[in-house]
Structure 1
Amino acid sequence: MEPAAFDAPPATVLAALLQQLGMRPEQLVARINERRSRRGSSPLSLKAAYPWLRENPSYPQPDNQSDALAVLTAKAGRPITASDVGWDSPRPRHRHRHLDAPGDAPLQGLLHEISQGDIMDRRNLLVLTGAAATAPALALLLGPAAQATTTSGGTRLNEKLVGSIESAVRDLREMDDSTGSASGDLAWGLGIWQSTSRVLAQVRDHGPLADRLQTSYIELSEQVGWMLFDAGRHPQAQRVYHTGMRLAREAGTSLTARHATSNLVASAAYQAAWLGHHNDAVALLDIAARTPELPPVVAAVIADRRVYAAGRRRDPDAILRYRDEALLHLATRDERTPWWATWLTKNSVDAATGRAWLACEQPSRAVPFLSRRVETTSSDYPRDRLLAVLDLADTVHKCGHGDRARELLDQAGELIGTVSSQRMLHRYEALSSATAA
């Protein structure tokens, strides 16, 4: 067996082992990707092993380390352990990661880092608040910078590729609407997000196809961010939202991209309101509303988010004001409605209003809105129906109608097994405990 041809003498034990086994780093990663594929994980970049081979190497993530050792064991025909390749010593200090602060990161570096695979599985990310949370959105107000997402010698776009990405984003939204953020759906969504990041990092086109790709990436960031939020992975959701904003700041020059960005910022504001970060939510919604030439339904989406945020900060006057604003915008909808905004109807605004009155600790004012929501929510959207039933159960319980609350929780119990949403599951368990007391 001839040794692999490396570009430099081996600097690490792993590099020497690969040379002995006749494997290039890309071959090692290709075998790792075969194992990742079998468990539904997205592939690593074929260059992912190079940082493990440097004179001052980084260590692979735990899953990648296990896969690499299994591949090396199979190739060597003998057990290869972490100590054999120097991975049993204390891990080196973590270098700065772009995804820790996407708003400040160089776009090409950020996209490349996302495309590597495992970074969104990190559990040591923290939720950002205050200026750190709102700065990426505030930067949007400066206006788009000159496009810098292209690289010389990169990939040229074609209609089939861009159309496939657009279709995948819509399919992901439909799956999430029907089943919630199931682990398989979320893994698929993160895989699409990472793969599209790789395409964006390599593309060298300008023009309509590039605009469509950038818009799809912003829409995808909003969708994947929402799914992570629904799964209770709040720091990861925030990083995905911020990455969409980072791209929009540099490349979102078309109106469709800017409108998609306003929706993404409004979803980030909803998360902030849910977490009780009221100042952040207000700031983000003010930024979203300042997007130029908003279609009426997009303006209504932002007002709908304002209704909920007002309830969370217990501002009854603002609830009434923004409800009226949302309904006024809905009444003037036109042909410019984006596909991702078609979900908003008067019934949806009713639901947000009822939820806001509930958060505002005025449950009696919430009852008529939430009752209508339960009556009108289609069984085709079990997560929406589950949310409506839980909202109403919470409301009638706070109104002192314990028997009715337990009846509604029985209905919720029938739905909970059809929906994968940590947000809904935690709410159901908390309400079940409260009504049993």
Structure 2
Amino acid sequence: MEPQAADNPLADLLRRLGWNPEHLIARINEVRAGRGCGPLDPKSGYSWVRTNPALPHPDNQRDALTVLGIRAERPVTAAELGWDGPRTRATRRRHLDAPADAPLDALLREITQGDLMDRRHMLILTGAATTAPALALLLSPNSALAAAAERGGSPSDKVIDNIDRAIQDLRDLDDTDGSGTKALEWAGGLWQATARIVNGATGDNANVRRLHTAFIELSEQYGWMAFDNNLHPQAQRIYHTGMRLAAEKSPHPAARHATSNLLASAAYQAAWLGQHTEATAFLTVAERTNTAAGTTPALAAVIADRRLFAAGRRGDTEDLRRACDSAHEQLDRSGPDSGAPWWCQWLSHTAIDAATGRAWLAARQPHHAEPYLTRRVTATTLGYPRDHMLAVLDLADAHRQSGDTDQATELHDTATTLAEHVDSPRAQLRLQQLTTALTH
């Protein structure tokens, strides 16, 4: 444990409150969990109480002042702690910190030099910083690849076939075993290795186009797994790197369809975080990109399914109903032999009903949600333990919101048992949140 400076205002306040820096970080992490953010390192508060302290980032300052004020039972200000001056610590700017402003070759170069996705100072992007990479897709030239001067350096069919199979294997692993640390490490290694191949590929030919499509698909899958691990800043940058490649290099239909799917997943994350304006922007670009590439009904259904969830999160029940109808209609248009991309084939009418239940639950209308969520619990199987656990948790929360505490507790206990076989930090956090709600 690092010594606390005697003349440090925060250290002095913590001593008077009976806390150490780890107590402070634990309370901050409770606030962050309520926003769906990943935790700070338990030791990170010690740098704030040194003789020459580091200043917390403004977001962390706000959280710290909030929890300190609750503990002290009075307002605690930044000036009181000496936090009202400029932050003096300089860090080297990384392109992955601002994917919207970075050229693709710089992003790929950083990825290939090592995984930069676990640095603690990464922040969740909001506003224009979030949506700029998506909006760039609307402005990308249709002849981006046609301008390439070289025609060589493209990977072989066999290399791309293996990348494609690895991505599908990764999806299967995530669906069945979850996206915990080991699976995420594999995904990160595959993403990094594929980035090396993308960075070295040149020319405009079928194999280069397949490679670009595969990297966008992989960015969607890896981003989703980071999201499932509550690594929201990392997930954003992974999604944005895929968007950047699409904007600069890949105007062909297969890549545009993959990009629409990636945008839909980015919208789901944004809605989960309460970034409603950003979620709407992602979904709008996803729809336009799908249309520009030649509308694929199965993909349109996926986008509508994500719009359904986003509408529920912001409490827009009219858009919720419209998105539900659209998702079912587009899925009917798709049909079993439509040739839809493999990553669309998870969506079914049952899955749309499940999303409808989650949306009504998010909109705080549990009586509308319960019938959908009850069917969802019945429809999910133990072969997909994460989905089954989340289904049980959603139904438990619906009963809790309706005032049926006994049924909610029984379902909570079922989910607790299921949690022993689920490697998903998102699902575990959801269980913790429900546990807290039922005990208060």
TM-score by length of 2: 0.76
Deviations 1:188-231 (A, max 9, x none): 00000011001111112421111111000000000000000110
Deviation at 1:377, TM superposition (A): 0.7
Distance 2:146 2:176 in 1: 37
Pairing partner for 1:140 from 120, 137, 149? 137
Whether the 8 Å contact between 1:177 and 1:383 is mirrored in structure 2 is yes
Deviations 1:381-406 (A, max 9, x none): 11111111110000011111111111
Distance 1:434 1:200 in 2: 47
Deviation at 1:149, TM superposition (A): 10
Whether the 8 Å contact between 1:374 and 1:385 is mirrored in structure 2 is yes
Distance 1:136 1:395 in 2: 36
Matched, 1:104 2:101: yes
Distance 2:238 2:173 in 1: 19
Q: 2:307 matched to which residue of 1?
A: 306
Deviation at 1:154, TM superposition (A): 7.3
Task: Report the AA paired with residue 140 of structure 1.
Answer: L
Distance 1:152 1:93 in 2: 40
Distance 1:275 1:363 in 2: 21
Task: Report the AA paired with residue 282 of structure 1.
Answer: T
Whether the 8 Å contact between 1:175 and 1:185 is mirrored in structure 2 is yes
Q: 1:319 matched to which residue of 2?
A: 320
Deviation at 1:378, TM superposition (A): 1.8
Deviations 1:105-145 (A, max 9, x none): 12112101111113112111111111110010011111345
- Percent identity between the aligned chains? 52
Matched, 1:114 2:111: yes
Task: Report the AA paired with residue 115 of structure 1.
Answer: T
Instruction: Give the gaps of 5 or more residues in structure 2.
Output: 1-87
Q: 1:283 matched to which residue of 2?
A: 281
Change (3 A) 1:254 1:290: same
Distance 1:375 1:307 in 2: 21
Whether the 8 Å contact between 1:150 and 1:203 is mirrored in structure 2 is no
Q: 1:190 matched to which residue of 2?
A: 188
Distance 2:234 2:109 in 1: 17
Q: 2:438 matched to which residue of 1?
A: 435
Matched, 1:372 2:369: no
Whether the 8 Å contact between 2:144 and 2:250 is mirrored in structure 1 is no
Matched, 1:350 2:353: yes
Task: State how 1:11-30 maps to structure 2 within 5 Å.
Answer: none
Whether the 8 Å contact between 1:148 and 1:250 is mirrored in structure 2 is no
Deviations 1:208-256 (A, max 9, x none): 1111110000000000000001101100000000000000011222211
Task: Report the AA paired with residue 268 of structure 1.
Answer: A
Change (3 A) 1:163 1:407: same
Matched, 1:255 2:258: no
Whether the 8 Å contact between 1:222 and 1:267 is mirrored in structure 2 is yes
Distance 2:419 2:237 in 1: 28
Distance 2:213 2:236 in 1: 19
Matched, 1:212 2:215: no
Give the 3-state SS of the residue equivalent to 1:428 in structure 2: helix
Deviations 1:154-207 (A, max 9, x none): 743111111111111111111011121110000000000011001111112421
Distance 2:107 2:386 in 1: 33
Distance 1:181 1:211 in 2: 28
Task: State how 1:237-248 maps to structure 2 within 5 Å.
Answer: 237-248=235-246
Deviation at 1:153, TM superposition (A): 10
Q: 2:402 matched to which residue of 1?
A: 399
Change (3 A) 1:361 1:200: same
Pairing partner for 2:387 from 370, 384, 387? 384
Give the 3-state SS of the residue equivalent to 2:421 in structure 1: coil
Whether the 8 Å contact between 2:115 and 2:192 is mirrored in structure 1 is no
Give the 3-state SS of the residue equivalent to 1:121 in structure 2: coil
Q: 2:413 matched to which residue of 1?
A: 410
Whether the 8 Å contact between 2:154 and 2:208 is mirrored in structure 1 is no
Whether the 8 Å contact between 2:373 and 2:395 is mirrored in structure 1 is yes
Change (3 A) 1:151 1:413: farther
Whether the 8 Å contact between 1:128 and 1:235 is mirrored in structure 2 is yes
Pairing partner for 1:123 from 120, 123, 128? 120
Pairing partner for 1:340 from 338, 343, 354? 343
Deviation at 1:150, TM superposition (A): 6.8
Whether the 8 Å contact between 1:103 and 1:245 is mirrored in structure 2 is no
Instruction: Give the gaps of 5 or more residues in structure 1.
Output: 1-90
Distance 2:125 2:387 in 1: 28
- Work out which of the two has the higher radius of gyration on C-alpha atoms and give 1 or 2: 1
Give the 3-state SS of the residue equivalent to 2:176 in structure 1: helix
Whether the 8 Å contact between 2:223 and 2:239 is mirrored in structure 1 is yes
Distance 1:148 1:121 in 2: 36
Whether the 8 Å contact between 2:358 and 2:394 is mirrored in structure 1 is yes
Distance 2:284 2:102 in 1: 24
Distance 2:438 2:156 in 1: 57
TM-score by length of 1: 0.77
Deviation at 1:147, TM superposition (A): 2.5
Task: Report the AA paired with residue 281 of structure 1.
Answer: A
Give the 3-state SS of the residue equivalent to 1:119 in structure 2: coil
